[in-house]
């Protein structure tokens, strides 16, 4: 069999949804702490929407995460340690109309932010194709695959993609190929 036969089919054209979380404010970049008006993961999520025509769902917490980078790190660490599920402004309850679910998340302390878990745990992933992108500043996917495996039971989980947050503006070609 030729290796070309093994290539995964393109997912363009399948009814798709992008679920994402992204933080604006101060963020750590390779050249230090910088203020960002639009989160890195949001840029990725919008590119996927643009490429696939997917619907977008943004996860937003009732209590916003701090603007200040260090304060945000502290809150995130506390949530991780307590395994908390922060309350969201709105919840997605039904994904039955979609074939493919793209999950886009930053990595926080080597895992996905707890706010994403709040949402994912409410959904039925049976029979879905799940693809996920993690934006990071050095850890790659880290242990986010564990979050995905736990939250997306019954789904066909495809290999995750890691994109360095400070390079997301140049990631369109990478995303096109990955999709
Ligand atoms: C609270 C917090 C924790 C982070 N932890 C990690 C980490 O463990 N590993 C890493 O490579 N980057 C870490 N980062 C960097 C972010 O994952 C990265 O900048 C990401 O692109 C941010 O995406 P966003 O702008 O969509 O929120 C962390 C950032 C924050 C704010």
Per the CB < 8 A criterion, the answer to whether 114 and 84 are in contact is yes
Closest by Cα among 53, 31, 28 to 39: 28
What's the pLDDT at 8?
Answer: 62
- Domain map (residue ranges) of the chain: 3-178
Per the CB < 8 A criterion, the answer to whether 55 and 17 are in contact is yes
Superfamily holding 3-178: Flavodoxin domain (3.40.50.360)
Tens of pLDDT, residues 78-125: 999 999 999 999 999 999 999 999 999 999 999 999 999 999 999 999
CA nearest ligand 1 atom 3, residue? 108
**pTM of the shown model:** 0.94
Whole-number Å distance, alpha carbon 54 to ligand 1 midpoint, is 25
Place of tokens 């404010």: 25
What's the pLDDT at 17?
Answer: 98
Whole-number Å distance, alpha carbon 116 to ligand 1 midpoint, is 14
Place of tokens 């619907």: 55
Tens of pLDDT, residues 49-62: 999 999 999 999 99
Q: 162 φ, ψ to 5°?
A: -105, 130
User: In the structure, which protein residues have their CB atom closer than 6 angstroms to any atom of ligand 1?
Assistant: 22-23, 27-28, 36, 39-42, 72-73, 76, 106-110, 135-139, 165
**pLDDT above 70 (res 1):** no
């Amino acid at each position: 069999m030729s290796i070309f036969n093994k290539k995964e089919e393109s997912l363009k054209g399948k009814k798709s949804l992008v679920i994402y979380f992204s933080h604006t404010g101060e963020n750590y970049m390779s050249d230090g702490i910088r203020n960002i008006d639009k989160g890195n993961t949001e840029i990725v999520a919008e590119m996927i929407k643009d490429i696939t025509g997917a619907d977008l769902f943004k996860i937003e917490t009732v209590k916003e995460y701090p603007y200040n980078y260090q304060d945000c790190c502290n809150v995130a660490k506390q949530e991780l340690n307590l395994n908390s599920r922060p309350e969201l402004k709105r919840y997605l309850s039904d994904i039955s109309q979609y074939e493919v679910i793209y999950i886009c998340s930053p990595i926080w302390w080597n895992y996905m932010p707890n706010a994403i878990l709040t949402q994912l745990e409410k959904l039925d992933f049976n029979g879905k194709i799940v693809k996920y992108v993690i934006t990071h500043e050095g850890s790659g996917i880290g242990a986010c695959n564990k979050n995905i495996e736990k939250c997306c039971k019954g789904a066909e989980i495809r290999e995750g993609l890691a994109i360095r947050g400070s390079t997301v503006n140049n990631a369109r070609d990478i995303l096109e190929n990955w999709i």
